[in-house]
Amino acid sequence: MAIFRHLLSRRTLAAASGGTVLFFGGGYWYLNSGPAYPVPTMVTRRPPPPWTPPSRADLLAKLKASGQIKTPTNNNEEFDLLIIGGGASGAGCAVDAATRGLKVALVERDDFSAGTSSKSTKLVHGGVRYLQKAVFELDYDQYKLVREALHERRIFLQTAPYLSQMLPIMLPIYKYWQVPYYWSGCKMYDILAGKENMESSYLMSKGKALETFPMLKSDGLVGAVVYYDGQHNDARMNVALIMTAVKHGAVVANYCEVTKLLKDNDGKLNGASVKDNLTGDEWTVRAKGIINATGPFTDALLTMDDPAHEPIVQPSSGIHITLPNYYSPRKMGLLDPATSDGRVIFFLPWQGNTIAGTTDTPARVSRDPVASEEDIRWVLDEVRSYLSPDIKVRRGDVLSAWSGLRPLVRDPSAEKTEGLVRNHMINVSKSGLLTIAGGKWTTYRAMAQETIDQAVETFGLEKRVTNGCITDTVRLVGSDGWSRNMFIGLIQTYGVETDVAKHLSESYGDRAWTVCSLAEPTGEPWPLHGKRLVPQYPFLDAEVLYAMRHEYAVTPIDVIARRTRLAFLNARSALDVLPHIVDIMAGELGWSYAERRRQLLATVQFLGTMGLTPAFMATANVPDPLPRGWVEKSAAAAWRATAGAVGLVLPRNAAPETMENFGPGRSKFEAGEVAALRGVFHGRAVGGNDGQDKVKSGEVLEVLKAIPSYAEATKKDLEYVLKEAGLDGQEDLDLDEFIEVSGNLKEIAFTPKPKKRGSHRRIPVEKSGGGV
C-alpha cells in the first residue's frame, strides 16, 4: 500500500503530468518547426530593382577571350573552372563556385535542363523507400541518404520559395495490418526530418480519404496515411540557378558543345574546344580545372578524355504522362507502393494538370528518349486499378508523355544492376577531369558543394576563393521580393487575371513584374493586360519575349518546354500555338521565312518525343509560318484567292473543318468517316434483345476491314481499347459504342507498337530513388 500511496502522491502525479506535457509539447514543436514562408511586407507590393542579364553574345565574347593569347591590350585571364553540362548538377556547381568568388564558365550542348533535369517527377523528397530499405536491411548508407535528402529538402524550399512548395501525398491502405506499418514508417520519416520537418503525417479514415480523393477506388479501402514532401517546377528551377550564377559573375552559354579536351605537355587538362551549335563557330576556352556534369552523358566525356575508359553510369528510364486535372485533387498527391510488377508509381497534381509515372527501367543513352507505348499503357493500367470504376481511364486522355534518363552510378566490376546506387559519386581522372555523376534533384546543392570543395583542392584554387560555401543561404533570382500574396499586387497594378497572376508569381517570383511590363494591353474591359498563348493555360505572349531577353531562350523548343511548361502539360496545345510563338520570336530575332520553317519542323519533331501521337501528326499538316511583311502577306492572300477560285483544299493553318467530333470522348474522324462507320455497322448488325442493332465485339476488326484507315489495327489493340472503354466483358456493341471503340482504335493503331513484356527489365526500386 505504501508503494501505491507513493506512486499516486501529488508530487508524483504533478511530475508525470508535467513530463507528459513537456514531452508532447516538445515533440509537437520538433515536428512542426519546418520551413517558414517568407514574411510578407509592404516592399513586396512593388517591383524589385530591375536587373537585365548580359546578352548571350556578350557571354560568348567572354568565353572566346579566355582562349586568346595574352597581350598588353588583352589581359583576360583563363577561367578558374569550366563546367560542362547545364542541368541541375552543372548549374548548382556554377552557383556554388561563383558565390565563392571563382571565375566560372559553363557550357551546355543543348539548352539548360534539356535532358534529365526537366523530366523528373517534380518532387523534392527524402525518399520514403530509402527509409524502408534502411530499416529492413539495416543499410546505414540508405539511412544517411535519407537524412541528407531531408536536410536538403528544407534548404531547397527556402532558397527558391516561389518555385517549390509542400505537397501532401496519400498512401491508400487496403489491408488492416498495413495501417500500423505505413503509419509508423511515415512517423519515422517525420522524426528523421526533425526540426526540418514540413508537417506531421497523419491517418485518414476511409470516409475522409474518399472525401479528399473522391476518384479513389473504395472497394476494400481501409483508410490512408498522408505524409508531406516537396514539389517544384524543375526546368524553371534550373533556369533560376543559371540566372543566379550569371548574377554572381558566371559566364554561361547554351547550345555550345565541347568537341575536344585540351591538355598541356604533362597530360593535364587546361581547356576545351567549344563549338556554337547555332552558328558553327569554334573557339578555345582556357581553364585551370574542368568539371564533367553531363548526367547520363558522363561516359561520353570521360571517353573523350580517355578512350580506354570503362562506363560508370547506367541510365534508368523514367516515364511520365500528363492527364487532365479531373484525375486528382488539386492539393493532394498519391503514391502507389505496390504496383503489378513491383514498381512505385506517383500520381501528382502539377501546374493545373495531373502527372503519373515511375522511373526504374534500364535504358540506353539517347539525346531525346521517347516514352514507349508499352510504358504508357502500363501507367494507364495502374491508374485504372486504383481509381473508382466509374472513371473511364482513356488513352486519349494522355495530354503528353515524356521519358527522362536518370544517371545511376554503376560499379564497373558488378554484374547487371547489382552495383547501382542512387547516391552520387565524385571522381578525378589522371588528366584532372573532375566528374560528378548520379544523385537527384533534391540533393543537387549538397552535390555541388562537395564537387566545388574537391575542385578547389584538386586545382589549387584556395587563394582564388573569397569565402566558403554559402549556397544554403543564397536565395535564387526571383526570391528576394516574392511573397505568397505578391500576385495580388500584379493584379492591382497590371490588371491581369487571377490565375495568370498566380502562375507568373509561382514561375518567376519577383521577376513576374518584369514579365507583366512586357505584356500588351488586351483592349478589353478585363483583363487589361496579358494575352494568353492558349485559352486553357495561363501562359502569356509576354513570357516568350521575357524568355528571349532575360533567360537565353533561342528556339521555340526552349520556350514551350523549359521556360514555359506547355509541351509537358499538353503537346497538342503546344503544336496549335507553335506558329504564333515562332512569329513572336521571328520579330525579336529577325528570322527569315526559311528559318521560321526550319524552327517549326524541328519543334514538331521534338513534340513527337513528348507524346504527340502519330495519329495527330498524320491528320494535321505541319504548320506553315505566319506571313510577315507585305511580300509574304501578299503571296498568302494571292494563294488563298487562287485556291478559292479553283475549289482547292483549305489553306494550311486554317481550321481543320475536314475533321468531325462524335459522341463521348475525343475521337476525331475525317469527313465522311462517321457515315462510313455507320454503313459498315448496319451492314453487319443484327437486332439485339433490347431492339437495338448490334455487332459482336469480337467481329469489330472484321467489320472495319472495309475502311482503309483501320488496316493497322490488331486484335491486341482491340482488346486494349475494349478494356479502356469498360466494354471488355460485353459481347455486343451498339452503334454509339462501336463508333467510340473505332475512334479509340484508330488512335491506338497509329501509336508505336509496344514491345513484348518479356523484354522489360526492372531496376530495383530502392536503387532508383523510390521512383523519382
Percent of the chain with pLDDT over 90: 55
pLDDT at 750 over 70: no
Closest CA to 148 of 398, 423, 368, 338: 423
pLDDT at 760 over 70: no
- What pairing do the DSSP bridges indicate for beta strands 223-232 and 123-124? antiparallel
Q: Contact at 8 Å (CB) between 489 and 500?
A: no
- Beta bridge partners of residue 271, listed in sequence order: 262, 286
- Distance between alpha carbon 28 and the CA centroid of its chain, in Å? 34
The per-residue pLDDT for range 547-579, each reduced to its tens digit, is 999 999 999 999 999 999 999 999 999 999 999
Backbone angles phi, psi at 707, to 5 degrees: -110, 115
- How far, in Å, CA of 343 to CA of 765, rounded? 6
pLDDT at 725 over 60: yes
- Of the pLDDT bands very low, low, confident and very high (cuts 50, 70, 90), residue 26 is low
The per-residue pLDDT for range 497-539, each reduced to its tens digit, is 999 999 999 999 999 999 999 999 999 999 999 999 999 999 9
Closest CA to 147 of 196, 181, 81, 200: 196
pLDDT at 652 over 50: no
pLDDT at 759: 43
- Of the pLDDT bands very low, low, confident and very high (cuts 50, 70, 90), residue 657 is very low
pLDDT at 304: 97
- How far, in Å, CA of 578 to CA of 572, rounded? 10
- How far, in Å, CA of 586 to CA of 596, rounded? 7
- How far, in Å, CA of 557 to CA of 317, rounded? 22
Q: Contact at 8 Å (CB) between 333 and 759?
A: no
Backbone angles phi, psi at 407, to 5 degrees: -85, 90
pLDDT at 416 over 50: no
Q: Return the C-alpha cell found at 141.
A: 548508407
pLDDT at 115: 92
Name residues whose C-beta falls within 8 Å of residue 722's C-beta, 6 or more positions apart in sequence. 697, 728, 730, 741
- Of the pLDDT bands very low, low, confident and very high (cuts 50, 70, 90), residue 662 is very low
Closest CA to 203 of 229, 181, 230, 231: 181
pLDDT at 126: 84
Please report, as a single letter, which amino acid is at residue 311: P
Backbone angles phi, psi at 247, to 5 degrees: -65, -25
List Cα–Cα distances, 497 to 481, 491, 541, in angstroms: 21, 7, 14
Backbone angles phi, psi at 104, to 5 degrees: -120, 140
- How far, in Å, CA of 481 to CA of 304, rounded? 44
From its phi and psi, is residue 324 left (phi > 0), alpha (psi between -120 and 50) or beta? beta
Q: 3-class DSSP state for residue 427? A: strand
Q: How many CB atoms lie within 10 A of CB 670?
A: 14
Average pLDDT, integer, range 686-692: 72
- Beta bridge partners of residue 74, listed in sequence order: 71
- How far, in Å, CA of 192 to CA of 190, rounded? 6
Helix 140-159 with 444-458: angle, nearest 10 deg:
100
The per-residue pLDDT for range 423-481, each reduced to its tens digit, is 788 999 999 999 999 888 999 999 999 999 999 999 999 999 999 999 999 999 999 99
pLDDT at 7: 63
Average pLDDT, integer, range 650-654: 47
pLDDT at 579: 96
Backbone angles phi, psi at 433, to 5 degrees: -80, 115
- How far, in Å, CA of 50 to CA of 47, rounded? 8
pLDDT at 481: 92
- What pairing do the DSSP bridges indicate for beta strands 433-438 and 424-428? antiparallel
- How far, in Å, CA of 652 to CA of 111, rounded? 30
Sorted by where each starts, the structural domains of the chain and their CATH numbers stand as: 59-65+77-119+236-312+412-459 (3.50.50.60), 167-230+316-406 (3.30.9.10), 485-646 (1.10.8.870), 673-750 (1.10.238.10)
pLDDT at 571: 95
pLDDT at 485 over 60: yes
> What does the buried/exposed string (b/e) look like for 210-229 if buried means 16 or more CB atoms within 10 Å of the residue's CB?
bebbebbbeeebebbbbbbb
Q: Contact at 8 Å (CB) between 501 and 487?
A: yes
List Cα–Cα distances, 215 to 4, 77, 385, in angstroms: 55, 61, 11
Helix 88-99 with 444-458: angle, nearest 10 deg:
60
Least confident of 74-88, 198-212, 313-327, 648-662: 648-662
pLDDT at 77: 78
Backbone angles phi, psi at 101, to 5 degrees: 95, 10
- How far, in Å, CA of 278 to CA of 482, rounded? 35
Of 671 and 67, more confident: 67
- Distance between alpha carbon 686 and the CA centroid of its chain, in Å? 50
- Of the pLDDT bands very low, low, confident and very high (cuts 50, 70, 90), residue 131 is confident
- Beta bridge partners of residue 315, listed in sequence order: 407
- How far, in Å, CA of 287 to CA of 106, rounded? 11
Helix 128-136 with 178-193: angle, nearest 10 deg:
100
pLDDT at 417: 43
pLDDT at 33: 55
Tell me which range, 213-222, 333-342, 636-645, is most confidently predicted by mean pLDDT.
213-222
Instruction: Record the pTM.
Output: 0.88
Closest CA to 282 of 248, 305, 249, 259: 259
Of 130 and 589, more confident: 589
Q: Contact at 8 Å (CB) between 710 and 704?
A: yes
- Distance between alpha carbon 71 and the CA centroid of its chain, in Å? 47
- How far, in Å, CA of 280 to CA of 201, rounded? 54
Average pLDDT, integer, range 666-688: 77
pLDDT at 197: 86
Least confident of 386-400, 576-590, 644-658: 644-658
Give Dmax (Cα) for the chain.
113
Percent of the chain with pLDDT over 70: 84
pLDDT at 204: 96
Of 681 and 4, more confident: 681
Residue bearing cell 475494349: 722
pLDDT at 655: 41
Q: Return the C-alpha cell found at 239.
A: 533556369
Least confident of 162-171, 277-286, 536-545, 696-705: 696-705
